[in-house]
C-alpha cells in the first residue's frame, strides 16, 4: 500500500516516490510522466521546459546564502524497465506500481519496482519542493528513454544547461561513488526462412524455461545468472539428431538490458522417439538444475505435449540457428586490466524470436573501451552472418571515461567518510550504461559524478530498494548539496 510507503523516513523522498510510481512510465511511453513532471515544476512556480525530445528541465534559484556556489545539475531518468512475473496480471501502460514493505526493503507485487531510477527522480523532486534544504542554483534534468536507447540524453542539445557540476543519481550501491561507465551497442541479427509443412508421424511439444532470476544485463552480468535463451538452445541443440526434433517457434527473453528469465519453444519430434525424448528431457533438466543450483534455485524446465503445429523451420536453417546461438558469446568477454574487479566488455543475448518464417536475435554489447566493444560486436556479427543472418548495429552510445581528479569527487569522499565513521567509499566505474558519457559529449567541461541508494534486482520483478540505505543516501545528498564549492 502506498500509505505504508509514505510513512517511511525520509518522508520527503518516499512521498515523492509514491507520487511518481502512481504514474505509468514504461520506456518510450513517457507522455504521462513528462506531463506529470511539467505540472510539478509549474505548480511550484519554477521555470519548467520540455526540450524537443521530451526531456524536462526545472530550474530553481540558489537557497539563501548559497548564491556564490557553483551551479549544479541533478539528473535522473523518468522511464522504468517493465518486467513482470509470468503469472502476474499487470498493465504497465495503464497501472501504477503496487508497492509493499518486506523487512528493510520496498518491493513491488510481481513487477519491477521502478526504483531504477525513480528514487533518483524522487530525490530531485523533494529538493525542488523543499524550502528548507540548502542548495546552490539548481537545474533538475529529467531525461527520457534511458533504458531502451538513451534517446533523451542523446537528444539533449548543448547550451541548454548552465551547471558546472552534474550529480547523476542512478547508481545502485550506497557505498559507491561512480566516476565512469560502459558504453553499449545493440546487435540485431535477422533472417527469413522457408517454413515446411509438418510431416506425418510427428508429435508436438512445448518446452518452457522459467524461474530464473533475471536482472540487470550490465551490473549483474558477471554473477553467473542463467540466460533463458542460452539454456533453451542447449535443450534444442542435438534434438534433430537424437529425436528428429524440429522447431516451429521460439519466444525467449524480452528487453535488451534484462538478462532473460524465460523462454518458450514449440517443437515436434518423431512419434517413435516419444518415450526416449521425455526421459531425456527429465534427465537433462535435472542436469541443468544441478549446474545452476547455487545461482538459480528456482529454475524450472517444463516439457509437455501440445497440439502438433502445422509448420516447422527449414532444417538447414534450424541447424544453423542452434549452432550460431551456441557459439554466440554471452556474459563477460573481458575484465578491465586497469580497474580491479570491473567488467570491461560483455554481451547479453537478450531476445530470440522464431516465428512465421522469420528469425530475430537481439543482443546488447557493453564495454568501457570502444575498440573492445566493436571487437565483441564483430565477433557476434561474424557468428550470425555465417548462418545467413543480416546483422545490424544500432543505438550506439559512448562510455564515460573515469576522472580521478574530479573536483566534486574530492568534496564527496571526505563527506562520505565523515558520515560513515571513517569508512571509505568505493570509487569506481560501473558496467552499466549511465547517461553521463552521452551528456558529456555536449557538455565536455561539466564535472560529473554518480551515486545512489542500494537497489537490488533491477530490471527484474525481484527489484527492491533498501529502506535503511535510502536514509543513509538522503543524508549524503543533503551534505553534498550544502558543501558544493564556491564558483
Residues recognised as catalytic = 79, 146
Cell of 56: 524536462
Q: How far apart are CA 223 and CA 214, in angstroms?
A: 11
For the chain, the C-alpha Rg in angstroms (whole number) is 24
- Report the SS3 class of residue 201: coil
- Report the SS3 class of residue 4: helix
By CB neighbour count within 10 A (0-12 exposed, 13-18 middle, 19+ buried), where does 164 fall? buried
Q: How far apart are CA 105 and CA 427, in angstroms?
A: 25
- In DSSP terms, 139 is beta-bridged to 59, 73
Q: How far apart are CA 110 and CA 472, in angstroms?
A: 27
User: Taking the mean position of all CA atoms in its chain, how far away is CA 259?
Assistant: 9
**8 A C-beta contact, residue 73 and residue 163:** yes
Cell of 273: 522417439
Q: How far apart are CA 415 and CA 405, in angstroms?
A: 17
Among the listed residues 457, 400, 405, the one whose alpha carbon sits nearest the alpha carbon of residue 433:
400
Measured between alpha carbons, how far is residue 279 from residues 18, 287, 292, 395 in Å? Answer: 50, 13, 20, 44
CA dihedral 24, 30, 35, 37 (to 10 degrees): 80
Among the listed residues 44, 7, 2, the one whose alpha carbon sits nearest the alpha carbon of residue 20:
2
**8 A C-beta contact, residue 262 and residue 230:** no
Name the phi and psi angles at 375, rounded to 5: -60, -45
Measured between alpha carbons, how far is residue 153 from residues 134, 158, 180, 368 in Å? Answer: 28, 11, 16, 18
Amino acid at each position: 500500500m502506498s500509505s505504508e510507503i509514505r510513512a517511511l523516513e525520509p518522508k520527503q523522498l518516499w512521498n515523492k516516490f509514491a507520487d511518481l510510481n502512481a504514474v505509468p512510465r514504461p520506456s518510450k511511453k513517457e507522455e504521462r510522466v513528462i506531463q506529470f513532471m511539467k505540472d510539478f515544476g509549474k505548480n511550484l512556480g519554477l521555470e519548467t521546459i520540455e526540450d524537443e525530445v521530451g526531456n524536462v528541465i526545472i530550474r530553481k534559484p540558489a537557497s539563501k546564502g548559497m548564491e556564490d556556489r557553483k551551479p549544479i545539475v541533478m539528473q535522473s531518468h523518468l522511464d522504468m524497465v517493465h518486467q513482470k512475473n509470468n503469472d502476474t496480471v499487470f498493465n504497465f501502460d495503464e497501472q501504477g506500481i503496487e508497492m509493499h514493505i518486506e523487512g528493510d526493503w520496498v518491493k513491488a507485487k510481481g513487477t519491477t519496482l521502478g526504483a531504477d531510477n525513480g528514487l533518483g527522480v524522487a530525490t530531485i523532486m523533494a529538493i525542488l519542493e523543499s524550502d528548507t534544504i540548502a542548495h546552490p542554483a539548481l537545474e533538475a534534468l529529467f531525461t527520457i528513454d534511458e533504458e531502451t536507447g538513451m534517446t533523451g540524453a542523446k537528444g539533449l542539445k548543448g547550451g541548454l544547461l548552465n551547471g558546472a557540476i552534474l550529480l547523476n543519481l542512478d547508481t545502485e550501491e550506497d557505498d559507491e561513488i561512480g566516476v565512469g561507465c560502459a558504453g553499449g551497442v545493440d546487435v540485431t541479427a535477422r533472417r527469413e526462412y522457408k517454413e515446411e509443412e509438418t510431416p506425418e508421424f510427428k508429435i508436438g511439444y512445448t518446452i518452457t524455461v522459467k524461474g530464473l532470476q533475471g536482472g540487470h544485463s550490465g551490473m549483474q552480468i558477471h554473477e553467473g545468472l542463467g540466460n533463458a535463451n542460452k539454456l533453451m538452445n542447449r535443450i534444442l541443440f542435438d534434438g534433430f539428431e537424437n529425436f528428429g526434433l524440429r522447431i516451429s517457434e521460439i519466444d525467449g527473453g524480452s528487453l535488451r538490458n534484462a538478462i532473460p528469465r524465460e523462454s518458450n519453444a514449440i517443437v515436434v519430434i518423431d512419434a517413435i522417439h516419444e518415450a526416449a525424448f521425455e526421459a531425456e528431457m527429465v534427465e537433462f533438466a535435472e542436469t541443468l538444475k544441478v549446474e545452476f543450483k547455487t545461482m538459480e534455485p528456482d529454475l524450472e524446465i517444463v516439457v509437455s505435449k501440445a497440439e502438433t503445429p502445422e509448420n516447422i523451420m527449414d532444417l538447414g536453417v534450424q541447424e544453423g540457428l542452434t549452432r550460431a546461438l551456441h557459439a554466440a558469446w554471452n556474459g563477460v568477454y573481458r575484465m578491465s586490466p586497469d580497474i580491479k574487479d570491473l567488467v570491461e566488455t560483455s554481451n547479453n543475448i537478450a531476445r530470440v524470436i522464431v516465428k512465421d518464417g522469420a528469425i530475430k536475435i537481439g543482443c546488447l554489447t557493453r564495454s568501457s573501451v570502444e575498440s573492445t566493444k566493436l571487437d565483441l560486436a564483430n565477433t557476434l556479427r561474424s557468428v550470425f552472418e555465417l548462418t545467413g543472418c543480416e546483422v545490424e548495429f544500432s543505438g550506439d552510445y559512448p562510455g564515460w571515461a573515469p576522472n580521478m581528479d574530479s573536483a566534486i569527487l574530492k568534496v564527496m569522499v571526505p563527506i562520505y567518510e565523515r558520515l560513515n565513521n571513517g569508512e571509505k567509499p568505493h570509487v569506481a566505474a560501473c558496467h552499466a550504461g549511465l547517461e553521463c558519457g552521452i551528456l558529456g559529449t555536449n557538455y565536455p567541461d561539466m564535472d560529473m559524478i554518480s551515486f545512489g541508494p542500494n537497489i537490488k534486482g533491477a530490471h527484474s520483478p525481484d527489484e527492491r530498494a533498501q529502506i535503511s540505505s535510502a536514509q543513509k543516501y538522503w543524508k549524503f545528498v543533503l551534505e553534498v548539496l550544502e558543501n558544493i564549492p564556491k564558483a
